[in-house]
Structure 1
Amino acid sequence: MWHRVVITTALIVSSAAALAATAHEHALHGWDIFNKQTTLQCPALKIAEKPAGDVNYLEEGFQSTLNARQQRAFEKAIPRVNGGPRVCANRNGISCPTAWDMIAIEKAGLLPRFVGYACSNGGHIP
């Protein structure tokens, strides 16, 4: 009986690790595209060098420009709670929601538009 518990626990842990790794890879992919595109389209702003808090500021401003269809796609792209990524609900700091919102932006097909927004507004980060 305890063998089943150990095997089940091992499967759950490995599944959770695989899911976390996939999400991490997806986040890095979105960041990589975002950084490459902003570097190409607006190199003087050096957005790729900005800290997570500045990118989060851009993400929040960008979200406010979305129409209803785009907003729904963004919200459905990742599980959310209280307006933020569910995986970040019990975490402090800005890096987690910034990374997961980048995943949502990419999954919703909004990354090219976000790059344009960042290039238009990246020089106005307080």
Structure 2
Amino acid sequence: MKMSGTDADVIDALVGITPGSPLDAIRARRPEARAHAQATYRALAVGAFVAGVHGATAIADCYAERLAESGASAALKEAIDAAVKEARTNGPYGRYPAGPLSREDTAGSSYRVGAAIRRTLGPRLAAA
């Protein structure tokens, strides 16, 4: 089963657990396990994005492969790839705290996830 977004519980989606079912009740007794499984899924998506932005193609591909193995939809992969293309820029940019290094401050663009990509990623992953 493919998940439509990253805010749906990955394990519930993979094995077809429906809200209110006996399996849902069992999983609800272990909220930390549920939260950690979901965090791992989101971390794979963030890893694919960060590696892609930095041009580490082999690493981005590894994260994307693991994400697909965990039930991610093709739409999620496409959204991550689109976000990478939107976010790439030349740098480095940044600001140092006040002091001798602040003369090396370089202003640059700030990335914000576009609306179409945000709809696919879901609010939590888009905020990451």
> What's the TM-score once normalised by structure 2's chain length?
0.26
Tell which has more relative contact order, 1 or 2 (C-alpha 8 A, sep 6+): 1
Higher helix share: 1
> What's the TM-score once normalised by structure 1's chain length?
0.26
